Amino acid sequence: MPAIAIIGAQWGDEGKGKIVDLLAENVDVVVRFSGGNNAGHTVVNQFGQFRMHLIPSGIFHPNVICIIGNGVVIDPAQLLKEIDALKESGIEARNLYISDRAHLIMPYHILQDGLEEEARGSRAIGTTRKGVGPAFTDKTARMGIRICDLLDAGDFRKRLSFVLEYKNRVLTRLYDVQPLSVDELCETFAHFRERLAPFVRQTDAIAREALSEGRKVLLEGAQGTMLDLDYGTYPYVTSAVSGAVSLGLGMAPTSIEQVVGVFKAYITRVGGGPMPSELHDDCSEMLRERGHEYGTTTGRPRRCGWFDAVVGRYAAEVNGVTGVALTKFDILDTFETVKICTAYELDGSTWKKPPASSELLERCKPVYEEMPGWQTPTDRIRRLEDLPRQARDYVRRIEQLIDCPVSLVSVGAAREQTIPVRKIV
């Protein structure tokens, strides 16, 4: 039952889209199991450059079934936009299935996201304001509206009327904004129903059946471990680690055979919250400009820093990473020296694991190891042994520090700009 999970091992934006697009060639099913359209996966292939937010990056392979699992929160307008944009580039979302159990991001969630951020003031999370957090809140508060509710106009109106009565009280009394109208929402969602109904399936059953038939299933994680609600830098978090797969898709944890941890060769973060190896100097600018480190979803400049091996080892342990995909390696090509954060120093003691408290992590000082740079372009290299010695040393040192073997090194956005090290699929 070969399921392979692709997990972000830092603060998101590690380049998971490219890795999924690459591996999807050899699998039968690709599944998104968490997050929402806060995610932004950039894929560059023979069809062009795409920014995927909800649709699994396997969609470019015509024989691959792509599933948006029940663990994802879906903004129907955004999903339709993505389906239409793909169509314009000649890609039909013929094999796209949406879980009937997935929750909807409703217009009031998007409103709430903005209003809550404003209310947080200087303690704002820096969310993408796409309504993802409020939709997940309502899911656990049992106030959510699901895709299966959308399918029947009568049931949808009943459910929405019940929920909206409460939501409108919050909007008008707490935030002093105009209430939303049930009729208007029903009208908008009638259009979504018509267009999305053909894609809806019991996707958990489809995934389990595929696994029992021995077909290969690739699980496309969104965001990163340090943004996980439990294991990340709470409260500056969203979702989800590899353990979320069972909940977000409906398969047993034992189905996962491999966990590929995607790590950028340096580190970035977008939004608020602690980041011990963040740089505020020329190196930061160089990383941002060379790596085009601007948010795929919001366009915000990403915060940049050196590879954080404390985060790296922690993420590898939490997710049970079996192999590392080291991405954007070529971005480091011009640096005279490169640094790796090997530990944190806090009030005179050394930390090898990130503390749970974001307040403490904020005060952690990075302990660096400095290595010579390779100052040679690597974007055309396709074999590990052809990398300059200093670059190989850097790869090896990361393997040692996070105690996990590297499976591939990515040296550019295109599929072929990949150095395979160990077979994944």
Nearer to ligand IMP, 116 or 149 (CB): 116
Q: How far is the CB of 133 from ligand IMP (least distance, A)?
A: 4
From 32, 103, 109, 130, residue interacting with ligand IMP (rule: CB under 6 A)? 130
If binding is defined by CB under 6 A, does position 223 make contact with ligand IMP? Answer: yes
Nearer to ligand IMP, 223 or 284 (CB): 223
* Residue 25 vs residues 18, 48, 65, 121, 425: alpha-carbon distances, Å: 12, 17, 12, 46, 9
Nearer to ligand IMP, 227 or 311 (CB): 227
**Separation CA 404–CA 153 (nearest Å):** 51
> Is 45 in contact with 10 (CB distance < 8 Å)?
no
If binding is defined by CB under 6 A, does position 271 make contact with ligand IMP? Answer: yes
From 270, 309, 343, 424, residue interacting with ligand IMP (rule: CB under 6 A)? 270
**252-285 residues labelled b (16+ CB within 10 A) or e (exposed):** eeebbebbbbbbbbbbbbbbbbbbbbbbeeebbe
> Is 34 in contact with 6 (CB distance < 8 Å)?
no
> Partners of 7 in the beta sheet?
261
Q: How far is the CB of 22 from ligand IMP (least distance, A)?
A: 19
Contacts (CB under 6 A) with ligand IMP, residues 31-50: 38-40
DSSP label of 146: B
> Is 345 in contact with 370 (CB distance < 8 Å)?
no
If binding is defined by CB under 6 A, does position 52 make contact with ligand IMP? Answer: no
Nearer to ligand IMP, 222 or 421 (CB): 222
If binding is defined by CB under 6 A, does position 127 make contact with ligand IMP? Answer: yes
**Separation CA 293–CA 276 (nearest Å):** 18
If binding is defined by CB under 6 A, does position 316 make contact with ligand IMP? Answer: no
If binding is defined by CB under 6 A, does position 248 make contact with ligand IMP? Answer: no
Residue nearest ligand IMP, CB atom distance:
271
Question: How many chain residues bind ligand IMP (CB under 6 A)?
Answer: 19
Long-range CB pairs of 166-174 (<8 Å, 24+ gap) are: 167/108, 167/112, 170/112, 171/108, 171/111, 171/112, 171/115
Is residue 13 flagged as an active site residue?
yes
57 by Cβ neighbours in 10 Å (0-12 / 13-18 / 19+) ranks as buried
If binding is defined by CB under 6 A, does position 12 make contact with ligand IMP? Answer: yes
Is residue 109 flagged as an active site residue?
no
Nearer to ligand IMP, 43 or 381 (CB): 43
Nearer to ligand IMP, 128 or 342 (CB): 128
DSSP label of 271: S
If binding is defined by CB under 6 A, does position 199 make contact with ligand IMP? Answer: no
Q: Which of 21, 41, 53, 330 is catalytic?
A: 41
**Separation CA 140–CA 138 (nearest Å):** 5
What residues are annotated to the active site? 13, 41
Residues at the contact surface with ligand IMP, assessed by CB under 6 A: 12-13, 38-40, 125-128, 130, 132-133, 222-223, 227, 236, 238, 270-271
